[in-house]
Amino acid sequence: MSAITDLRNQLVEVLQKTGPGKPTLCEGWNTEHMVAHLLLRETRPDIAAGAVLSPLAARTERKTEELAEKLTDGRLYMEAVEKFAQAKAPNRMHGTVDEGMNYVEYVVHREDVLRGSPAANEMNGGESRIDHEDEKIWKTLSSQGKMFSKSYPDGLTIVGTDDQGSPVFGRETLRKPAEASRVSGLVQKVVKAPSTGEQVTITGTPLEILLYLFGRREAAEVEVEY
C-alpha cells in the first residue's frame, strides 16, 4: 500500500478507537467535529470550500456543526467514519494528487485526536508514526517551505532530529529575511518587507516541527530560538 493509504487507514482506526465526545487540539472541536470535517472535505467539496474561501466560511462552519451534532450518537459516528474510509473522492484517483492534498492534513488531524486527551492517547497505544513518516514530512517541509514559513518574514530555519535529538535530517532554511522588489523606471529598488523581529530556528523531529508550524504550538515538542 502507498503511504497515503497507510495513513488514511491509521486515521480511520484512531477515530474508531477513540469514539465521539473526546476533545481534540482544535479549539471547540470534539472527535465528532473532526469526523464531520473529514467526511465533508472528502464528499462535499462545495461545503468544505469554506476552509480556504473566507466568504464561504460561515456556511462550512454551520454544516460541520450540524453534522457533528448528529455524530454524538455512537452508531452514527461509526457509520460516518466508515463513510470517510470508503469515500471515493476525486483526489484519490491519482496517488500523487491524493498525497499532495491529504498527507499533511491527515497527519495533523491524527495528532489532533491523539493529543487532545490522555484517554485518546491511551486508547490508541501512544506511538502514532507510520513507517518512514518523518522522512516524508521532512521532504514536505523542505519542498513547501513558502507555505509553512509565510508567518516568518524575518526568516525561518528548521533543524530535523530523531527522537534522541540528533540532527539526522539536517538544517533547512525555509525562508530568508524577506525583501520585496520594486521597480522604479529602469532601476530596481529592494525594499524590506514588514519586520516582526523574529528570525526563528525550530528544532525537533519533523512531526513536531510540522505541528508547531500548523498552529499546534502548545502540543509540539520543539526548541525555538529567536
Condensed to tens digits (0 to 9), the pLDDT of residues 95-149 reads 678 888 899 999 999 999 999 999 999 999 977 888 899 999 999 999 988 888 9
Residue 129: what pLDDT?
85
- Residue 182, pLDDT above cutoff 60: no
Span 210-224, average pLDDT: 96
Summarize the confidence of residues 68-89 as an average pLDDT.
93
Q: Which residue would you say has higher pLDDT here, 216 or 195? A: 216
User: Which pLDDT score, from 0 to 100, does residue 94 have?
Assistant: 60
Tell me the domain boundaries of the chain: 3-123, 133-225
35 pLDDT higher than 90? yes
pLDDT given at position 183: 46
Look at residues 28, 36, 8, 11 and name the one whose alpha carbon lies nearest to residue 114.
11
Using a 10 angstrom Cβ sphere, with 0-12 exposed, 13-18 middle and 19 or more buried, the burial of residue 29 is buried
Residue 202's nearest CA partner among 105, 167, 192 is 167
* Bigger pLDDT: 96 vs 7: 7
CA distance 20 to 102: 23
Higher pLDDT, 179 or 47: 47
pLDDT at 181: 40
pLDDT band at 197 (very low <50, low <70, confident <90, very high): low
pLDDT beyond 50 at 184: no
Helices 31-43 + 74-86 axis angle, to 10? 40
Determine what percent of the chain is predicted with pLDDT higher than 70: 84
Average pLDDT of every residue of the chain: 87
pLDDT at 188: 45
pTM value is 0.86
| 13 has pLDDT over 90 | yes
Mean pLDDT along residues 160-179: 91
- What Cα–Cα distance (Å) separates residue 79 from each residue in 18, 32, 87, 98, 119? 14, 12, 12, 23, 22
pLDDT (average), residues 146-155 = 89
Q: Which of 16-30, 34-48, 121-135, 193-207 has the lowest mean pLDDT?
A: 193-207
